[in-house]
Amino acid sequence: MPPSYEKINYRIRPAKNVQRKMLVECVRRLTEFGGLETYQYVGFGSTYFSDFSLFHKALGINRMISIEKDIKNQGRFRFNRPFSCIKLAFGESNAVLPTLSWRSKAVLWLDYDSKLNSSVLTDIGHFCTYAVSGSIVIVTVEAKPDEEPEERVKRLRKAVGKLKVPTDITFTGLADWGTAAACRRIINNEIMERLSYRNGGVEESKQLLYKQLFNFRYSDGTKMVTVGGIIYEKGKEGIFQRCAFGKNLPFVCGGEEAFLIEAPNLTFKELHYLDSKLPTRVPPGGHSIPEEDVGRYARIYRYFPRFAEAEF
């Protein structure tokens, strides 16, 4: 099977593009924990390195590591690397993550194109075992329900381990976006479990807390879910509060309710018209745009991509 980057141009997936910009705006508020130039960013750049370019340009993060499992095409990744500050680490994430240093604050985006499985939980567990206060972990997995309803729970248990699946999850509960909700619970449980191990015998002020910041859902061809948040010491609650992640960032979600990114298909003329009315309410009438699309666009207009053909 060819790698996903040969099938999908990750730069022009509209909902993914919106989510990427939202993540950057939220990460920008980490400055209360220290200058962003002190952070390292670790992710899966693929051949497009879209998130790396944005995190470097928008946030000034220079310490960057891209994990690439396609070891057969190392030359292609090196050729497409947009900045020299991006270091490439080839191999499966389970093998690469343990070789990296986690002594400094980090933003880790485990941006998988596959479903949640035990390998994903291993990656999450490793990071949470070593992450320092002020770090952020983000996990993206496919959340498409299994096509055989009665096999959903069985296959989820097989994928992540029976003990990792909450006992109240049923096959009907995994329908539609129910699989995304289950993934959120399993991911958060893994984070909390690992931090609980670390906190044993540690003085209270140094114990690590996890606060969820992200619960995105979107579909650029298939259902996807992105879950994540910040890890910080209990004694730094004041610093966390000063970050004000929830202030004027409506996409920050700390609980079960998710932020659904729906990118409507609009013409440039329609986009210009809606922009001229926003951020206040767009009055009905005077246009032929479906009201449902107006609402979808209004929620994400500040991050909405404008793709256009260009000749170089």
Name which of 190, 192, 253 is nearest 225 in CA terms: 253
Find the CATH number of the domain harbouring 78: 3.40.50.150
Q: What pLDDT does 117 receive?
A: 98
Clarify whether residues 292 and 199 are in a common domain. no
Clarify whether residues 272 and 143 are in a common domain. no
Clarify whether residues 226 and 295 are in a common domain. no
For the chain, percent of residues with pLDDT exceeding 70? 95
Clarify whether residues 160 and 295 are in a common domain. no
Work out the average pLDDT over 249-272.
Answer: 96
Clarify whether residues 196 and 101 are in a common domain. yes
pLDDT in tens, 269-311: 999 999 999 999 998 888 899 999 999 999 999 999 988 776 6
pLDDT in tens, 134-174: 999 999 999 999 999 999 999 999 999 999 999 999 999 99
Q: In this model, does residue 3 exceed pLDDT 70?
A: no
Q: What pLDDT does 284 receive?
A: 87
Q: Is residue 16 part of a domain?
A: yes
Work out the average pLDDT over 100-105.
Answer: 97
Domain range for 292: 268-303
Q: Is residue 312 part of a domain?
A: no
Average pLDDT of the residues of the chain: 94
Clarify whether residues 85 and 209 are in a common domain. yes
Q: What pLDDT does 7 receive?
A: 43
Q: Is residue 128 part of a domain?
A: yes
Q: What pLDDT does 288 receive?
A: 92
Work out the average pLDDT over 99-117.
Answer: 97
Clarify whether residues 222 and 274 are in a common domain. no
**How many domains would you assign to the chain?**
2
Clarify whether residues 272 and 290 are in a common domain. yes
